[in-house]
Structure 1
Amino acid sequence: MTNPLSAPASITVIRGRGRVSALGLAAVPADNEASTFTQHTTGVPVAALPASAETAVAALRRSHPAYRQLDRTVLLALLAARQATTQAGWGNGGLVDWGVSETGNHQSTNPPIHQPTTSPLAVSIGSSRGATGRLEEFHAEFLAEGSVPAAASPLTTLGNVASWVAFDAGQDGGAALSHSSTCSSAFQALGNARAWLKAGMADRFLAGGTEAPLTDFTLAQMRAIGIYSPLAAANWPCRPGAGRPSTFVLGEGAAVFALEQLSAAQLATEPGPLLVLAGVGFGFEAIGSKTGLSPEGRHFQLAMHEALTQAGLAPTDIDAVVLHSPGTPAGDAAERAALRTVFGPELPLLLSNKWLIGHTLGASAALSLDFACHVLETQQWPTAPFATDLATAADKPIRRILVNAAGFGGNAASAVVELRG
């Protein structure tokens, strides 16, 4: 059990969070009667934004002259960051001001009201690929004409994402940091933000992940690996934990969190409940195949142990795990083998949102963490409409959730989030 003497003198709290995905601006669907996946022009299923979220993206793009040239990846990050700052009360306008409600319903066509944040903050954003769409557009232009515009370079660097989030938030004086470690990129960003806050190097952080990879070239890359789902879009084509065949499906989205550090004295006066980012751990396994992993998931084991250690928790303190589990048989099996090594034969509840939103690469860890926060707040989650080992219900309150992520190159990351008060 948790040792109260090991509790940290201060904690990292999630003041606000925002997201956009195939579910629109919602964390979970109103129901799961109809598949959230659609067929891409290339013929494969994808988890693309619905019309309501597209309306929000279009309004955001029109709201500032400079935003009209931004990559979709950046716009998704801005969309999620604005929700997070609004929920945190950090003063960056409200969702109604720029056309959508929290449920994604269209409300108005007014442009956003850009308001500076109430005090300096830092920004840390992860993305596996960054400005995917714009990069491909600029490259096609170069092949056709032999030249590119001057804006091509700044608009396609990875740091372009964090710097625009900082600009839109009205940041003045804080750091704008970018991270790329394939599909664990968002946890790299959140782990870095938590470390800066604990060290007193920042007072507030916007941190998360974003990805807009639904381009012909990126989809071709995923199909070349041989992991893409053969199932139709209407048939829930992404199926974590369902076994063979591989059911990986690419999605797009972003999730951003507004983080603050509270001292023990501040915590004593805080009204509860509070969502606490209790630990973010990392693991790496040196493996020759950069698309592979060990059968026992050594990188998962290392990441989970580190996250638990940071949180001052034992494996028995964890009530549920939001899996990385992208629907690939080898990856799903390795993660479960790692879980059995860490937790023993009696595993916590196994949860996933990838069957709803696909695998969003560098945004996936952040969207999984947002899903975990939703489960903690509501004690509910949608039930997958196919045979799987994902949990359908809980027999006790869920207070602490571990979230896993992993990417190419042998890296993995885990985060622990808990509900206090």
Structure 2
Amino acid sequence: MTNPAPADDAVVVIRGRGRVSALGLELGINYPVSPFTAHPTGVPVAALPPATEAALAALRHAHPAYRQLDRTVLLALLAARLAMADVESPVASCQLSGRFKSGSSERPSNWQLATGNRMAISIGSSRGATGRLEEFHAGFLSEGSVPAAASPLTTLGNVASWVAFDAGQQGAAALSHSSTCSSAFQALGNAVAWLRAGMADRFLAGGTEAPLTDFTLAQMRAIGIYSPYAAADWPCRPGVGRPSTFVLGEGAAVFALERGSRAALQAAGEPAFLLEGVGFGFEAIGSKTGLSPEGSHFQQAIREAICQAHVAPETIDAVVLHSPGTPAGDAAERAALRAVFGEHQPLLLSNKWLSGHTLGASAALSLDFALHVLETQQWPTPPFATDVNGPAPRPLRRILVNAAGFGGNAASVIVTQV
């Protein structure tokens, strides 16, 4: 059974996007120095650079209520503001990032306030308010009590609800999603379904994560996958095999989505990005940190995304890999690609060697990277031997983006430029 093609007036258009990561608020192609730094615990991490950290601090003080929010929520607010400003123009988005430094509480766009507009929010996060949860728990262990704000500030739902508040949303839904490292695509899939069904006119959807806490880092090290390389030595190396080079990062990416029509886009004559398909996969395996050698959950998600997009596999020009730098995970994803694409293997791309693995935000940041590649036809080359980010035999028009997480889940998105 195949999915019916969406009606001409039910395509999902990416109108704007915003991102926050170890690379700052913008993307480029030249990175001569590793963006990774050493965490106080001694391990390498992909943390925000100083200028972006200052922007986040300014946002925290832009509203009295924001001073109590978890870092994960603030990252989502910042990315969402940038996405709405990008609807106006990329220049407006850049100007907004500069205004954050002065602590401005100005909201960026009237996009979400249009007459009759039903804008909904859908934000994914693997762990939610990690930092604040750990702070409240530490306080409980030492004092035997917690403040009244502990519960509302640490529920997963507070991520989307604060984005909705900051965006000036009136009515419609504000949904938070958690499905480990594919959480952002779970949020995106929900947004696509609502838009195509006419249940919303516009969506802010994406993912956010701030996992650089001592406890979270200890959890990743306990699994035995953390990179042995120093921060300056490009410690996250997807596609190189052994040793495992997993490195945690923080960040967020949010997309401003609309239901649109192909005819209107063609009449406008301007480049646009379409979110053509969102596919999901699951494999029931005993180990919740493992996966099958053939990557069956990846195969399911990729095939479903291709089916939903109503395109042939050979029209996929490139894949932004999930590829976290773990030998088993990297190999399984590539096995899945061989099973789906056969001799027509797409170009393999990755952004994790620059931003680390940002858990629930990783899929959204990978999609943002894919859009950057489509827009510029340029991408950075890693300073180590790997199978990712090589030269392309032709211009890239359609890109598949993969994500997967603990528990056997996977998700894939197909985006194209028209």
| Shorter-chain TM-score above 0.5 | yes
- Mapped contact 1:96–1:108 kept (Cα < 8 A): no
> Quick one: structure 1 residues 223 and 283, their matched pair in 2 at CA, closer, same or farther if it must change by over 3 Å?
same
- Cα deviation for residue 26 of structure 1 reads 1.2
Distance 1:40 1:181 in 2: 26
Q: SS state of the match for residue 138, structure 1?
A: helix
Secondary structure class of the residue paired with 1:372 = helix
Equivalent runs, 1:289-304 vs 2, <5 Å: 289-304=287-302
Change (3 A) 1:138 1:243: same
Name 1:45's counterpart in structure 2: 44
Q: Alpha carbons of 1:271 and 1:173: their partners in 2 closer, same or farther (altered >3 Å)? A: farther
Residue 112 of structure 1 pairs with residue 105 of structure 2:
yes
SS at match of 1:147: coil
Q: CA contact under 8 A between 2:278 and 2:414: conserved in structure 1?
A: yes
Kept in 2, the 8 Å contact 1:240–1:327? The answer is yes
Aligned residue for 1:56? Answer: 55
User: d(CA) in 2 for partners of 1:339 and 1:211?
Assistant: 28
Query: What is the 5 A alignment of 1:344-359?
Result: 344-359=342-357
User: Residue in 2 aligned with 1:89?
Assistant: 88
Q: Is the 8 A contact 1:7 1:312 kept in 2?
A: no
Report the counterpart of residue 278 of structure 1 in structure 2.
276
Equivalents in 2 of 1:318, 1:94: separation in Å? Answer: 30
Mapped partners of 1:358, 1:388: distance in 2: 16
Contact 2:76 2:207 (C-alpha < 8 Å) held by counterparts:
yes
Shift in alpha-carbon separation, 1:94–1:373, aligned structure 2, 3 A = closer
Indicate the residue corresponding to 1:131 in structure 2. Answer: 129
CA contact (8 A) 2:159 2:176 kept: yes
Stretch deviating more after TM superposition (302-311 or 81-90):
81-90
SS where residue 14 of structure 1 aligns?
strand
Q: How does 1:230-269 map to 2 (within 5 A)?
A: 230-269=228-267
Q: Write out per-residue CA displacement over residues 332-360 of structure 1, whole angstroms, 9 at most, x where no aligned residue.
A: 00000000000013410000000000000
2:16 is aligned to 16
1:160-199 matches, within 5 Å, as 160-199=158-197
Counterpart-to-counterpart distance in 1, 2:101 and 2:126: 33
Residue 161 of structure 1 aligns to which amino acid in structure 2?
A: V
- Partners of 1:141 and 1:148 within 8 A in 2: yes
Distance 1:57 1:412 in 2: 31
Q: Deviations over 1:233-287 (max 9, x none)?
A: 0000000001100000000000000000113443343332110100000000000
Q: Which string of whole-angstrom CA distances, capped at 9 and with x for unpartnered residues, describes residues 189-223 of structure 1?
A: 00000000000000000000000000000000000
Which of 152, 156, 159 is the aligned partner of 1:158?
Answer: 156
CA RMSD of aligned residues (A): 1.6
Figure out how many residues of one structure are paired with residues of the other and give that number: 407
Aligned residues of 2:350 and 2:389 also touching (Cα < 8 A): no
Q: How far has the Cα of 1:88 moved from its partner? A: 1.2
Q: Is the 8 A contact 1:81 1:165 kept in 2?
A: yes
Matching residue's letter, 1:298: S
Larger displacement relative to structure 2 (119-128 or 198-207): 119-128
Distance 1:283 1:54, change over 3 A: same
Q: For residues 124-158 of structure 1, give each alpha carbon's deviation from its aligned partner in whole angstroms, at most 9, with x where no partner exists.
A: 00000000000000000000100010000000000
Letter in 1 for 2:290: G
Question: Is the 8 Å Cα contact of residues 6 and 312 (structure 1) preserved in structure 2?
Answer: yes
Q: Secondary structure at the match of 2:102?
A: coil
Work out whether residues 238 and 326 of structure 2, in 8 Å CA contact, stay in contact via their aligned partners in 1: yes
Instruction: Work out whether residues 38 and 46 of structure 1, in 8 Å CA contact, stay in contact via their aligned partners in 2.
Output: yes
Q: Deviations over 1:34-93 (max 9, x none)?
A: 001000011100000000110110000000000000000000000000000111139xx9
Instruction: Tell me whether 336-345 or 7-16 shows the greater mean CA deviation.
Output: 7-16
Contact 2:113 2:169 (8 Å CA) reproduced: no
Aligned-partner SS, 2:297: helix
Identity %: 73
Change (3 A) 1:343 1:234: same
Q: Measure how far apart 1:96 and its partner are.
A: 3.6
1:7 deviates by 6.6
Q: Secondary structure at the match of 2:307?
A: helix
SS in structure 1 of the partner of residue 385 of structure 2: coil
Consecutive unaligned residues in structure 1, runs of 5 or more: none
SS at match of 1:332: helix
Q: What runs of 5+ residues in structure 2 fail to find an aligned partner?
A: none
Q: CA contact under 8 A between 1:28 and 1:371: conserved in structure 2?
A: no
Q: Is the 8 A contact 2:58 2:104 kept in 1?
A: yes
Q: Secondary structure at the match of 1:243?
A: coil
CA distance in 2, matches of 1:58, 1:243: 38
